[in-house]
Amino acid sequence: MYLAWFRPICFTAAVLIASSGSRPLRAEAAGSLTAAEVIQRAVARAQQAEVRTGRAGYTYTKLTVTEELDATGKVKQRKEKVYQVYFQRGATYLKLLTVNGRPPAHADARKQAENEKESREMLGSSKARNADNRENFLTPELVARFNFTLVDQQTLDGRPAYQLTFAPKQPAPPVHHIVDRLLNRISGTVWIDAEEFEIARAEISLGSEVDFLGGVVGSLKKLAYSMTRTRVGDGFWFNTLSTGDFEGRKLLDSMRIKTKSQSTNFRPLRLAS
């Protein structure tokens, strides 16, 4: 099946946009900032390593839908998964609850672990982790690969936000991992909250086809990905909705994958007494 081959791609697209959840920080005045200053503050927010002691995390329900389409756009395979997610001390833990409405089989749990390993390898991380800590993905090294332009200030969900476009720098930065080839071809728009400098919304697309291992194992021809993040409670931000449309080739076979992820029912975790 082709779905497993595309999961690292989907995971990478999410990484390009934002982390899955973030800790509260003191709000800063919006003021008049340049694109570089906005991005610098967003990176500082994402990179804050301290975890406030005595604060509960959050738990919520996550629904993911992945569809494989044929050449005519008809769905060949559809997989729906429901997770209970726990966000605590800067890390996200996922517990698979159901697959297509039924309790997960042993093979489903094993496949989930394999997919997480594939994603880490694609991102160039050799450390196996029980927790999915995405707080450090928005790094200075990542943003240094792109040129950012401040184009507007808008209101999203009642909050002021900076709208910036981004595109890869030229000449392209060196390629050390598969994901670097993807980073050198994507561009898009990002909206950053003007008070807390969290990414509130983002849209990315692929500018040109990306080959994997010289095109021997496959290629990615289309990537259209969007994500919306929402402020929950006293300053926690979470990915609440994302959609993806991916088209490419695995070996000699064409493939198209559509994804959707939605998170709901956010509740604070109770601190152990």
Half-sphere exposure of 239 (CA within 13 A, CB side): 26
Please tell me the least confidently modeled range out of 19-28, 65-74, 114-123, 179-188. Answer: 19-28
Residues of the chain with pLDDT > 90, as a percent, come to 47
Q: Distance (Å, rounded) from C-alpha 258 to C-alpha 260?
A: 7
Give the tens place of pLDDT for each residue, 72-100: 889 999 999 999 999 887 778 899 999 99
Flag whether pLDDT at 122 surpasses 90.
no
- Specify the pTM: 0.79
The residue that leads in pLDDT, 4 or 206, is 206
Residues of the chain with pLDDT > 70, as a percent, come to 72
Place of tokens 């709000």: 27
Give the tens place of pLDDT for each residue, 15-68: 455 444 554 444 444 458 999 999 999 999 887 744 444 456 899 999 999 999
